[in-house]
Amino acid sequence: MAQASELSLEDAVAQSPRKWVYLFSEGNAGMKDLLGGKGAGVAEMTNAGMPVPPGFTITTEACNEYYTAGKRFPDGMWQQALAALRQVEAQTGKTFGDAKNPLLVSVRSGAKFSMPGMMDTVLNLGLNDETVKGIIALSGDERFAYDAYRRFVQMFSKIVLDTKADEFEKIIERYKEETHAQTDADIPSDALKHMVEDFKQTARDASGRDFPEDPVEQLRLAIEAVFASWNNKRAIDYRNINKIPHDLGTAVNVQTMVFGNMGNDSATGVAFTRNPSTGERKLYGDYLVNAQGEDVVAGIRNTSPIDHMQEEAPAVYQQFHEIANRLEEHYRDVQDMEFTIEKGRLYMLQTRTAKRTAAAAVKIAVDMANEGVISRDEAVQRVEPQQVVQRLLPRFDEQDVQAARAANRLLARGVNASPGAAVGKAIFDADRAEAAGKAGERVILTRVETSPDDVHGMYASQGILTSRGGTGSHAAVVARGAGLPAVVGCEAIRVDYEQRQFRVSGTDTVVREGDELSIDGATGEVFQGALKTVEADFEHDTDLQTLLAWADERRDLGVWANADYPRDADRSVAFGAEGIGLCRTEHMFMEQERLPVVQEMILAETPEKRQAALDQLLPFQRSDFEGIFRAMRDPKTGAGYPVVIRLIDPPLHEFLPSYEELLVEVTRLEDKGDNPDELAKKRELLGRVAQMREANPMLGLRGCRLGLLFPEINVMQTRAILEAAVNVAKEGMRPQPKIMIPLVGHVNELREVRRQLEAVAEEIASEAGGQVEYKFGTMIELPRAALTAGQIAEVADFFSFGTNDLTQTTFGMSRDDAEGKFLLQYVEGLPEPGLKEPVKILKVNPFQTLDRDGVGRLVRIAVEEGKRTKPNLEVGICGEHGGDPDSIAFCDEVGLNYVSCSPFRVPVARLAAAQAALARKASQKQAERDK
């Protein structure tokens, strides 16, 4: 081996500050942090006696140290790598760089968390003009040798020498045309030999340097390239999207090459122990005969389903099937496996926990629990809350689908790679797709095949359509992980990037950029135009219902919903809500038939006129609350659920026309001069609106302040709530109204408002001839309220944290202004001249995920002080954070009684609350063991 270390691995490690390199035989599945998912997986398979080509892994710590040292290998790492390579030589009987019996290796990335296609890989490393002769002599197949050589030069040049991939594709297409080859596999050996030289010249022209012939130099450069790929743009974008920390680093796996491109008894493929799209318990995947791994992932050729291997290579299929079963049984989860067949012999290259769709995730978790593979606790923890969101996404209306087929709008069928219904404009470039997505347009990214460089456009799209590729292709893997509908391998479409269009084979149909498409990732169908979508059938989704029932048994937090109308309440109960945590009464005022009466009430010049308007509103409000109380009952027992109703909160001018619009209208009437009566009315209204204008309405006359100055409004609403409760109670129900007084900053505000409203409650109880059940509480949405919660708890029966306003007042920012002007830049990063990475002020948007250090600290203080004053104080949260899994975990940690969120987020909150409780209890048990 040229320039090889003569040290053993043990000696090389002894002379280094740390062990940077592990042979596959030295690792195990529990070493993901150090060896990455891929390295830990091959180590585990090696130690289980499976057919794994020998190799070694350079640790994630080495990657991080590489960056710390200014992009230099850490001390001793290179010597350890060369020493490990000597041991691989001994295991294989081959020598790296030897002209007669050369060892060739692959160099692959492998982070702790799977990042499919985001980082770099080099195959066939070690080839040069001399070692290729040894491969020819050993294999007796010149074509195979030069096919491997051209692949190596192509891949190495693209990744290490920064040569554009398109340049190589143009050369390949030219040779196919000259040799009349249908596919890459048909190009003869003489042409491949010349292609290698053309590739090298292309790399030389692009990089300004000769292609390296020394295999050791090739290895050094490839390892550096893999380290560097940890911080390429697509990898950073992927980590940002999937919330993967940026400081984990990637491992590097150096593994003996085995070849799937040695003829028709060789193949390569990707398979899953269960279907990652549907969850069906059946071996699933595809493979390519006479190909290498990147052909499958890149989608360069269309693949064969794994089932076909039963017919083409039954013995190999049986061995693979047995290994797949062993791996799933060993890891107790669905495995994503890469394999190669070389001259009829099976080799396992990788196993990792499989990415899966939302539908598959739920089914697999429930099935594995029912099969006894995992516990129900594990099943609940296996499904990500975001996957529940995806499970509830819409599908195409069946009648519209049938009509589209009848109208010949079904353009083509491809591989159903990731389920879901997507409608959008066909866009043929990832950059344009991203721009259109950011502009609010619906996009279907349409490509021949996708590559890691397309990821930003994929995530901005509603769905993905490719003309090449299979279920293991880049497009399919990324789409499943992102929950995007995808149809791949759609051979009937002929994509033309230059013309920005595709043609449908055998027809005159042309779809141009901007034309609407509908793709069905469950069936693989592609339709022209937009199809109607329908909501998911949550009620009859037995797997999801089963999982959520298990979650309900394990959570401590109640899950309530924010609902303003009876229809919202019905939907909330259907999704599993156990109460309403926020009913905003002001939304009821905005309906068309009521708004004129509300405006009349606001503009009333005397208390009598105001009361007359309120008397008209009372029956509307009472009817609304009756509908909500009737809807909020346990579907099994009929018992009433609690309903928290917030008294009017926004400033009154929000119910009037805007000052600017009125000013324009008055000016217009003045200019025309033909309608003096209307002008007089508009001038009067303009004057009243001007009087009510505030410099900062969010902190102005609203909430309890409004109720203190205009108590008759609160009195009317309280009467409507309690009269509705009395009426519904007469029907045999037992409603649980909870009246919430908003924007309290001082205990005296709450004390006075409650005094006024208790008098109303006593009056209604007297009229009803008995006790009316109710509670009075407050919304904690101001920092002072949180800091004086012990005092406020003396007067309140319950707290509900309004974390949207609490976040605004704690950060001192208006959400609408901040998100539109600077907040997203705080999260995504501020460009800073001279720095490679943008400066990030905040890790997450605090209006989406609760700020634990600031807002969360106020919540914790309020809970602790409130319960110290009143131990049975009920405490919940009703801001948008009530549906965010990370925020729900915090609520569980600080001891809240419930979270409340939008109806659609209720299933997510049920699962997240169970996962939070399980994690907390596991942490408590571990702490007890550590004592």
pLDDT for the residue numbered 2: 39
Contact 632, 643 (CB under 8 A): yes
Model pLDDT for residues 632-645, shown as the tens digit of each residue: 998 888 889 999 99
**Residue 5 pLDDT more than 60?**
no
Residue 4, pLDDT score: 44
Quick one: pLDDT band at residue 326, thresholds 50, 70, 90?
A: very high
**Res. 3 pLDDT band, cuts 50 70 90:** very low
3-class DSSP string for 226-277: HHHHCCCHHHHHHHHHHCCCCCCCEEEEEEECCCCCCCCCCEEEEEECCCCC
Query: Which of the residue ranges 22-26, 415-419, 563-567, 666-670 would you say has the lowest mean pLDDT?
Result: 415-419
Q: How much is the mean pLDDT over the chain?
A: 90
For residues 373 and 147, what is the distance between their CA atoms, to the nearest angstrom?
A: 44
Highest mean pLDDT among 259-268, 816-825, 910-919: 910-919
Which amino acid, 244?
I
Running DSSP on this structure, what letter comes out for residue 830?
A: B
Interval 201-221: pLDDT, tens: 999 999 999 999 999 999 999
Q: What is the pLDDT of residues 329-371, one digit of tens each?
A: 999 999 999 999 988 999 999 898 898 888 899 999 999 999 9
Rounded distance between C-alpha atoms, residue 181 and residue 192, angstroms? 12
Contact between 501 and 357 (Cβ < 8 Å): no
The whole-angstrom separation of Cα 144 and Cα 122 is 17
pLDDT classification of 565: cutoffs 50, 70, 90: confident
Write the pLDDT tens digit of every residue in 719-777. 999 999 999 999 988 999 999 999 999 999 999 999 999 999 989 988 877 677 899 99
Query: Residues 522, 420: contact at Cβ < 8 Å?
Result: yes
Spot the catalytic one: 583, 704, 878, 901: 878
Which of 183-192, 234-243, 559-568 shows the lowest per-residue confidence on average (mean pLDDT)? 234-243
| φ, ψ dihedrals at 746, nearest 5° | -135, 140
Percentage with pLDDT > 90 across the chain: 64
* Residues with Cβ within 8 Å of residue 147, at least 6 apart in sequence: 185, 187, 189, 192, 261
Quick check: 259 pLDDT over 50? yes
- What confidence tens digit (pLDDT) does each residue in 143-200 have? 989 999 999 999 999 999 988 888 898 999 899 889 998 878 789 999 999 999 999 9
Q: Return the pLDDT at 817.
A: 78
Instruction: Note the pLDDT of residue 1.
Output: 42
**Looking at residue 909, what is its pLDDT?**
96
pLDDT in tens, 801-850: 999 999 999 999 987 778 767 887 888 787 766 666 678 899 888 988 99
Percent of the chain past pLDDT 70, that is, above it, reads 97
* Contact in structure between 481 and 295 (CB atoms under 8 Å): no
For 190, the token pair is 């003489």
3-state secondary structure 124-162: EECCCCCHHHHHHHHHCCHHHHHHHHHHHHHHHHHHCCC
Q: Is the pLDDT of residue 131 over 80?
A: yes
Strands (E), 282-371: 284-289, 304-305, 335-342, 345-353
297 confidence band (pLDDT: 50, 70, 90): low
DSSP 187: S
Which of 63, 474, 490, 653 is flagged as catalytic?
474
Q: Span 445-463, mean pLDDT? A: 88
Mean pLDDT of 499-523: 93
- Lowest model confidence (mean pLDDT) among 2-16, 134-148, 590-604: 2-16
The answer to whether 869 touches 793, Cβ cutoff 8 Å, is yes
* pLDDT confidence of residue 487: 92
The answer to whether residue 542 scores a pLDDT higher than 80 is yes
- pLDDT, position 230: 94
Closest among 94, 92, 148 to 125, alpha carbons compared: 148
Cα–Cα distance for residue pair 844/241, rounded to 1 Å: 11
Write out the H or E segment, with its range, that includes residue 106: strand 105-111
**308 classed as catalytic:** no
Q: Is the dihedral of CA 678, 679, 684, 685 positive or negative?
A: positive
Q: Please count the other Cβ atoms lying within 10 Å of the Cβ belonging to residue 281.
A: 16
Concerning whether 540 is annotated as a catalytic residue, the answer is no
